[in-house]
Structure 1
Amino acid sequence: MLQYPHFDPVIFTIGPFQARWYGMMYVIGVLVGWALGRWRASRPGSGWTAAEMDDFVTYLILGIVLGGRLGYVCFYNPSYYFSNPSEIIAVWNGGMSFHGGVIGVITACWLFARNKAKPLLAVGDFVAPLVPPGIFFGRLGNFINGELWGRTTDGWWGMVFPGAGSLPRHPSQLYEATLEGLALFLLLWFYSARPRPRGAVGGLFLVGYGVFRFTVEFARQPDAQLGFVALNWMSMGQVLCLPMILFGLWLMFRKQGG
């Protein structure tokens, strides 16, 4: 059994302001994606400029924060938040839905594409490889927060998480960081290095994330307020992954327009 390295979630405090590792991980993820996007925009034939990438970051941040938070509120605990609406804005306490974040980022891409007169699918293809670093750091933030732990395990890699009882559990946050973050980034980065049909890179992102997340959910503890939501074994995360995978496959293999 591995020892969980009890982190202090607060980096520093200045008066009433607290800088937390959870929020810092999101900041680092955005900065890494921004830097990679600017580098890619500078490559010949990218169809982007560094200035356009700078503009897009504002859209991206709003899409991640608003989509991720509202997705968590609506998908995972609507009754609590509708009864305590002031808690909806308390992002510093945790509670972000990746699937809600995807909806937010797609909305951000649509608004940006409309304002810059760019094809939506082309924007999605450019942005897709920049998202996994944010997922990687976001999952590290979950691990530091000691939240979203896995199911119990007797494997030597199990950890006893604070607030999760005395039994060792899968460090599923690290599984997700590795698969949805690192592995998906490498897959998309190299796949997008060559010209692909429009929509294919974005489609691979949806399929890759959906498959990785669906798989890790077998080791992740379902949300206590939901449990299994379909067929007595499928979690909400798995249910939400199915339309992602199907839509991603359609984007990858659809017939291209003239």
Structure 2
Amino acid sequence: MQLPHIDPVFFRIGPLEFRWYGLMYILGFMAAYFIILRRVRQRALPLSADDVADVIFNLAVGVILGGRLGYVVFYNASYYLANPLKVFAVWEGGMSFHGGLIGVILAGLLVSRKKGITFFTLADLCALTAPVGLGLGRLGNFINGELFGRVTDMPWGMVFREGGELPRHPSQLYEAILEGPVLFAILMIVGRKERPAGVEFWTFVAGYGLFRFIVEFFREPDSQLGFLLGPFSMGQLLSFPMFLLGVTMALIVTFRGRRAG
């Protein structure tokens, strides 16, 4: 199949361009606001609508700064060391989920102190919002025709403009489904019962790590890095420890909660 041509710019006003990928970020943050506000009210937490908006703003800053710096450090450090001003050229692309997660955690530590709630209470509130943003973001990657998969002979293989003439896995869609609705459903199930603070957050960490590790087997590795350890990419080397840490911590927190109960 040929990738359907979708203009990455959905609206223009003179020299200004509004892109689908940026719109996905906006929709993700908007969804996060309503999801967190609803969970705050369900759990009777001492946070107002203004507090939730402040949380979203801080986390958005953490996502953007962390995502950009993570890409610079993890995926193209030599290029940015030679061209340091390019670090600020965000319009040229280059964001890392793992850097964004670090940025969100740091922002969450600061805002949890400011709002007078524990970090893991806040992290659990926000965990359910992440699959929404991730799923939308991967759809944005698909529209842009970037981060495509490896060459395949499967009937749903797609020809991407930047990927040559051979059909490739639409790995953006694989990620959109697994990191989006599938992970969302898992977190919904986990969140139905009252659990010790941190379980939902660590479940998200484990789920993302596992799904990203799996999809990377179908995704074309970054051209400037290739494979780093045998058949494994940078994304897998960053994601597999997330899976192990998430599973371990979720079990520890759950076990401690049961003993305390």
Q: TM-score interval w.r.t. the shorter chain?
A: over 0.9
Q: Aligned AA for 1:64?
A: V
Mean CA deviation greater in 243-252 or 24-33: 243-252
- Written as runs of structure 1 = structure 2, the 5 A alignment for 1:166-205 is 166-205=165-204
Distance 1:51 1:251, change over 3 A: farther
Paired residue total: 256
Kindly indicate whether residue 14 of structure 2 is the aligned counterpart of residue 15 of structure 1: yes
SS at match of 2:17: strand
Q: Aligned AA for 1:56?
A: V
Share of identical aligned residues, percent?
50
Paired with 1:10 and 1:87, the residues of 2 have a C-alpha distance of 22
Stretches of structure 2 lacking an aligned partner (at least 5 in a row): none
SS at match of 2:86: helix
Match of 1:256 in 2: 256
SS at match of 2:10: strand
Q: Is the 1:22–1:92 Cα contact (8 Å) retained in structure 2?
A: no
Mean CA deviation greater in 75-84 or 9-18: 9-18
Query: RMSD across aligned C-alpha pairs, in angstroms?
Result: 1.5
Stretches of structure 1 lacking an aligned partner (at least 5 in a row): none
Q: Aligned AA for 1:188?
A: L
Q: Is the 2:121–2:198 Cα contact (8 Å) retained in structure 1?
A: yes
Paired with 1:98 and 1:197, the residues of 2 have a C-alpha distance of 26
SS at match of 2:232: coil
**Deviation of residue 22 (structure 1)?**
1.3
Kindly indicate whether residue 52 of structure 2 is the aligned counterpart of residue 53 of structure 1: yes
SS at match of 1:163: helix
Paired with 1:87 and 1:173, the residues of 2 have a C-alpha distance of 26
- Written as runs of structure 1 = structure 2, the 5 A alignment for 1:5-154 is 5-46=4-45, 48-154=47-153
Paired with 1:44 and 1:236, the residues of 2 have a C-alpha distance of 38
Output the TM-score relative to the length of structure 2.
Answer: 0.93
Q: Is the 2:9–2:17 Cα contact (8 Å) retained in structure 1?
A: yes
Output the TM-score relative to the length of structure 1.
Answer: 0.94
Paired with 1:160 and 1:57, the residues of 2 have a C-alpha distance of 37
Q: Is the 1:10–1:18 Cα contact (8 Å) retained in structure 2?
A: yes
Flag the structure with higher helix content: 2
Q: Is the 1:22–1:94 Cα contact (8 Å) retained in structure 2?
A: no
Paired with 1:174 and 1:186, the residues of 2 have a C-alpha distance of 17
Paired with 2:32 and 2:122, the residues of 1 have a C-alpha distance of 14
Paired with 1:80 and 1:62, the residues of 2 have a C-alpha distance of 24
Q: Is the 2:32–2:56 Cα contact (8 Å) retained in structure 1?
A: no
Q: Aligned AA for 2:232?
A: M
SS at match of 1:170: coil
**Deviation of residue 44 (structure 1)?**
4.3
